[in-house]
Structure 1
Amino acid sequence: MAIILGDHQYGKAESRLVRIHRDKPRHEIRDLNVTTALRGPFDPACLVGDQSDVLPTDTQKNTAYAFARSKGVSSLEHFGLDLARHFVTDIGPVEGARIEIEEYAWQRAIVDGVEHDHTWTRSGQEVRTAAVTVDATGEYVIGGFKDLVLLKSTGSEFAGFLTNEYTTLPETHDRVMATSLVAKWRFTSTEVAWDEVYAGVKAIMIREFAVLQSLALQQTLWHMGKAVLEAFPSIAEVRLTAPNKHHFVVDLSPFGLENPGEVFFAADRPYGLIEATVLRDDAPDAHEAWRASAGLA
């Protein structure tokens, strides 16, 4: 029996980077959390501590800051591609690069009914994500978001399920359905209107969640993914993760009160966790596109 070194990579995780574009009176802000990971023949670093081919993680961090200044941040995906291409093309030993980016949203402050040119308040909605992989097989971009919290007060059912001697859950044809959605979608191209597509995908998923008379959260995820693929030919597959944020009707009868589905206990755990992948049957090979580094995007 031999013991061998398997897959490995290294990089700088979670470099906080805020880029403010100040070239016009109306400033623009992009607030990022950037993770880099490099892949290649780095076996000697692991096996014998030889660092001669290792680009320090501190240098990777500095590169992200320098690129934010020299190239700007027009979108997460474009910025990630710039970084990944640089590491693979310009750093000799590097054979592959993975860039994961989170973006925290800001919205303009309203002053006297008008959007202010250089003041923002943090927006409490979802975190936008992007993951870019560049290696010998090609360039791969995964867009996405996480922590998009959705709730509908009706239009959701759960009935007709399998039961046994341990089943206590009653059937329902009218329930609150809520989730904190994580969505990721893989593109087939790097020539994409990134921000427009992001806004479109998010809008479609919210619409499907809202309008579908849902018989199960699984069904809702299928409709979300299917609608996105129908709308955007440049997307090959969609991966969805949705914890079921349960809302249980509180029994108010001890207090002489009825509760016709108006007061709920919001349980944070345990929770059902629903996951689904929706893809085209002719989707191109993803290769290493889904191989994560920090797993943040």
Structure 2
Amino acid sequence: MVYSLFEQVSEAAVTIVERPWERVAVDGKPHSHGFKLGSEKHTTEVTVKKSGSLLINSGIQGYSLLKTTQSGFEGFMRDRYTLLPETRERIVATEVTAWWRYPFEHISQLPSKPFCFTQRYQDVKKVLADTFFGPSDVGVYSPSVQNTLYLMAREVLTRFAAEIWPLLCYLL
């Protein structure tokens, strides 16, 4: 490793942030060479120490989702300050930030076959979206944004429990 060439170096840390480009449409048609910068960020932070210990965190930041129907605001605690009535039909939007840690604790544990961090990011992003929206033809009802965020986090934890260690899952 490069850091072993320098006695004074005890660890190296690298942070990578990727923002996807999205093709733009002009007059309802995909433009042949026009793109706009997407909103969410794919992040990865890697720290490796001279001893070979390793820490790999990855995540998604700023993943904005919106449903225009099939969302309510009901079943919440009420007190004298509660002004809003319950409803079974409203727009709901949220921004998701989720982090996870890969289970490699030493460079010797890295897979010999290429490991695709981008694929895992895309898989997590798909689970979040699928849980938020439900099937494309019928959707899924949510009684509250809190309930939906809980279900999204639970589904990611269930689906990827053996492959990633959830560090922190902010679903705002």
After TM superposition, give the deviation of residue 238 of structure 1 in Å: 5.3
Note if contact 1:108-1:120 (Cα within 8 Å) is conserved in structure 2. Answer: yes
The structure that has the greater radius of gyration is 1
Deviations 1:226-272 (A, max 9, x none): 322333321111533233xxxxxxxxxxxxxxxxxxxxxxxxxxxxx
Aligned 1:1-297 pairs, distance under 5 A: 86-87=2-3, 89-107=4-22, 121-135=35-49, 136=51, 138-189=53-104, 190-191=110-111, 192-211=115-134, 212-232=140-160, 233-237=162-166, 239-243=168-172
Q: Compute the TM-score of the two structures, normalised by the length of structure 1.
A: 0.45
Distance 1:164 1:229, change over 3 A: closer
| Displacement after TM superposition at 1:138 (Å) | 2.2
Q: Which moved more, 1:120-129 or 1:166-175?
A: 120-129
* Residue pair 2:24, 2:36 contacting (<8 A) in 1 also: no
- Once the two structures are TM-superposed, the CA of residue 168 in structure 1 deviates from its matched residue by 1.4
Q: 1:222 to 1:133 in 2, by over 3 A?
A: farther
CA distance in 2, matches of 1:101, 1:198: 13
Q: Aligned to 1:160, what secondary structure does the other structure show?
A: coil
- What's the Cα RMSD here? 2.9
What is the identity, as a one-letter code, of the residue corresponding to 1:161?
A: F
- Give the superposition deviation at 1:86: 4.0
* Amino acid in structure 1 at the alignment position of 2:122: A
Determine if contact 1:106/1:120 at 8 Å carries over to the other structure: no
Q: State the one-letter code of the partner of 2:83.
A: T
Query: Structure 1 residues 130, 174: closer, same or farther in 2, change over 3 A?
Result: same
- Residue ranges of structure 1 left out of the alignment (5+ in a row): 1-84, 244-297
Which amino acid letter does the alignment assign opposite residue 167 of structure 1?
Answer: T
2:43 aligned partner, one-letter code: T
Paired residue secondary structure (1:201): helix
- Asked if 1 retains the 8 angstrom alpha-carbon contact of 2:22 and 2:38, the reply is no
> Are 2:23 and 2:30, in contact at CA under 8 Å, matched by a contact in 1?
no
Q: Deviations over 1:168-214 (max 9, x none)?
A: 12222222110122121211134332121111111111000102422
Instruction: State the secondary structure of the residue aligned to 1:165.
Output: coil
Q: Distance in 2 between matches of 1:145 and 1:238?
A: 12
The one-letter code sitting in structure 2 at the alignment partner of 1:143 is S
CA distance in 1, matches of 2:95, 2:42: 13
Shift of the 169–187 alpha-carbon distance from structure 1 to 2, 3 Å rule, reads same
Identity in percent: 30
Which letter does structure 2 place at the counterpart of 1:91? F
